[in-house]
Structure 1
């Protein structure tokens, strides 16, 4: 058993094992694949054999690009349900998929045309709040009907009602984006982002268009298409900067601009451009100090969320342990379950980069993240890989780790 443990037995669920299988199918040598990914031959070998872990999303994207495959080919997403809550969440995807690919010209008005616009808007806002709390089954269950009703209101209502319905539709697509992304369906999340952007462009509202642009960039990022995400954000900056006033009565455009800087910082960090990442993070920090805590469409822009993002960005630039220790000493007051879970998950990623020296803290924080938002964590490929890596490094059995392995389906 000890010998098997030392060899880090192959696991078909592991990202490294999938990487090796795809590389061999492509006929690429270890040296060539490593060069294309910007890695050393030895480092890629350790990743493939489970001796190194994937704590960075940018690393997965780099290897996927080098191998000519998708990120999902490496991660194996989407994952089958291993618990009741995940099964219930996955059950909302088929109807949601149909709703996202239908067009406004499809006749869906008969089902929900009788619902007043105010009730539709309230229900969509509630669904968005549920999604932010990582309650994806409840968030997505009525979403297809709500989208249909809002399309009907946009078609048959007055000019004022049409504007309200389009705003509601944009928020509905925000909900669909969040549900799909966190359930391992990045291509469906991209469709939701596309529909949000198309809808927001029909409104004279730069802030709402900015948030829709953010979704599109985030969708491209989740697919591993960093250059496309950068291009979308470049256009978004040009459009929203003239209207972004962090000191004015309407701070929504400034919020959107701030989150654009955070997403740009993350993209730069994943691409190894640490100076650019820091520049965007500094811009976001300055804006957050001036806007204070805001929460348009559940994006949660403000000093607390900027501090949380700074940790995720540090992990992508291999500075995880030091920044995790600083953040852990004074946790930002992020309020929603989704944000709290993400913060603890990023703390686990940061501590896991300490090459086994802080694995006790990594275990503690990923356990906390899973208890706060289990469906979100159990459908994250890095969570599975992190638990596997910590397990391989463990010198003794720890019940928290054994529990995590069972919950995440790690062999």
Structure 2
């Protein structure tokens, strides 16, 4: 090995800062660029790399891993026995069947009778209801998706009249949208991308504003969650969808207003990821005013956009801006019990836990993750941030904290009983 070759981070046990430097330099990234992505100074990056300051906490470590495009936190921390895949969870038992349905080519003469559009819509409504109400929501929709995908594809294939074909495309786009909720955090990102792009194509073919808005909302999320290099793409998709929908709002129904509101918040979410504080909160305020135009009991079945969700969205903005104190303040104001969807309520609890962790309240973070587990075990089991917080606290020096985190780790499946 030449003397100037990039060293393997696992050749020798090295400190966090040394690993960060190795990974940064292997990607050709300067300290200035990394500092900008993290909202820190180049001197801070240098001091971490040289071990002059304590290694950062879990939230900052996750941000560093994202900026360096590290897919597994162990590559940065130097603890290969503690495996944390940042963006993917363990593969669900239903994943193979869903993948097979997506990959199947609906070509040739259909051998089955085409499903009626109203029958497909009823099955979709039942699937969405199961997703929101079942603690094992991923299992429930994973069992329904293969047949739904095949039948929706068949409906498009056999449609003859233009109106019938567009209606079938709208159903297919919605089936793909439901699929994305199952595929999130699964160890097959290429499958998620295929489904997101197919949903957008089918939505455009449908010419239905609500369907187009939903598919754009999910495609923007896929870009945003891929990392900083895709933030511009996420913003472009969000803005194009809003430019299309906003002129339609005066004559639109509640679902179209809700998807426009959800897209508006998405723009704020991405701004928060960028560290653009004023822009993020401005979008949140606009989305809040749109939510207030909806009936108090209205709840969008795909995006969860509603009056009830805006408090949870405020927590998310504060957490993504890495403001621990503001995160806790917003968490105290938000009422999780008003969120009717179990997985969305669990996701809100995870965001609250991130806020408590940022604010130096690990005990509150674990207690809140316990609440997330009670709401929807499959949500916390596949969430990288939740797993990271739990595993960090299993090494706490405080016995009570360590015991409670370990008990939760066993329930989630991170540690053996």
Residue number in structure 1 paired with 2:232: 227
Of residues 314, 317, 320, the one that matches 2:318 is 314
Other structure's SS at 2:151 match = helix
In 2, are the aligned partners of 1:344 and 1:369 still within 8 Å (CA)? yes
Residue number in structure 2 paired with 1:145: 147
Matches for 1:124-139 after TM superposition, within 5 Å: 124-132=124-132, 133=134, 135-139=137-141
Deviation at 1:28, TM superposition (A): 6.7
Residues in 2 aligned to 1:199 and 1:33: alpha-carbon distance in whole angstroms: 39
- The question of 1:364 aligning with 2:367 is answered yes
- The question of 1:299 aligning with 2:284 is answered no
- The question of 1:213 aligning with 2:231 is answered no
- 1:221–1:351 CA distance, 2 compared to 1 (3 A): same
In 2, are the aligned partners of 1:186 and 1:222 still within 8 Å (CA)? no
- 1:44–1:25 CA distance, 2 compared to 1 (3 A): closer
Matches for 1:271-310 after TM superposition, within 5 Å: 271-292=274-295, 293-310=297-314
Residue number in structure 1 paired with 2:404: 400
Deviation at 1:401, TM superposition (A): 1.6
Residues in 1 aligned to 2:273 and 2:61: alpha-carbon distance in whole angstroms: 8
Deviation at 1:139, TM superposition (A): 0.5
Deviation digits for residues 349-392 of structure 1 (CA, Å, limit 9, x no counterpart): 1111112xx22211110111122222221221111211233344
Deviation at 1:26, TM superposition (A): 1.8
Deviation at 1:173, TM superposition (A): 0.6
In 2, are the aligned partners of 1:367 and 1:400 still within 8 Å (CA)? no
Residues in 2 aligned to 1:20 and 1:138: alpha-carbon distance in whole angstroms: 41
Matches for 1:311-350 after TM superposition, within 5 Å: 311-328=315-332, 330-332=334-336, 333-350=338-355
- 1:363–1:296 CA distance, 2 compared to 1 (3 A): closer
In 1, are the aligned partners of 2:58 and 2:392 still within 8 Å (CA)? yes
TM-score (norm 1): 0.81
Q: Higher relative contact order at CA 8 Å, sep ≥6: structure 1 or structure 2?
A: 1
In 2, are the aligned partners of 1:320 and 1:351 still within 8 Å (CA)? yes
Residues in 1 aligned to 2:109 and 2:339: alpha-carbon distance in whole angstroms: 38
- 1:169–1:262 CA distance, 2 compared to 1 (3 A): same
Other structure's SS at 1:367 match = helix
- 1:410–1:31 CA distance, 2 compared to 1 (3 A): farther
Deviation digits for residues 16-50 of structure 1 (CA, Å, limit 9, x no counterpart): 7997497178277995784464442245678x986
Residues in 2 aligned to 1:108 and 1:269: alpha-carbon distance in whole angstroms: 49
Of residues 203, 219, 241, the one that matches 2:246 is 241
In 2, are the aligned partners of 1:147 and 1:172 still within 8 Å (CA)? yes
Other structure's SS at 2:399 match = coil
Matches for 1:382-401 after TM superposition, within 5 Å: 382-398=385-401, 399-401=403-405
Deviation digits for residues 296-326 of structure 1 (CA, Å, limit 9, x no counterpart): 4432211111211110110111223334344
Deviation digits for residues 258-278 of structure 1 (CA, Å, limit 9, x no counterpart): 111111111000111111101
In 2, are the aligned partners of 1:184 and 1:379 still within 8 Å (CA)? no
Matches for 1:177-196 after TM superposition, within 5 Å: 177-196=180-199
- 1:157–1:18 CA distance, 2 compared to 1 (3 A): farther
Q: For structure 1, which runs of at least 5 residues remain unmatched after alignment?
A: 1-9, 11-15, 82-89
Matches for 1:55-66 after TM superposition, within 5 Å: 60-64=65-69
In 2, are the aligned partners of 1:55 and 1:349 still within 8 Å (CA)? no
Number of positions where the alignment pairs a residue of Structure 1 with one of Structure 2: 378
Deviation digits for residues 163-197 of structure 1 (CA, Å, limit 9, x no counterpart): 33222211111111000014354432222211111
Of residues 98, 101, 104, the one that matches 1:99 is 101
In 1, are the aligned partners of 2:89 and 2:383 still within 8 Å (CA)? no
Deviation at 1:128, TM superposition (A): 2.7
In 1, are the aligned partners of 2:114 and 2:154 still within 8 Å (CA)? no
Residues in 2 aligned to 1:94 and 1:17: alpha-carbon distance in whole angstroms: 39
More displaced stretch, 381-390 vs 48-57: 48-57
In 1, are the aligned partners of 2:350 and 2:369 still within 8 Å (CA)? yes
In 2, are the aligned partners of 1:328 and 1:347 still within 8 Å (CA)? no
Other structure's SS at 1:298 match = coil
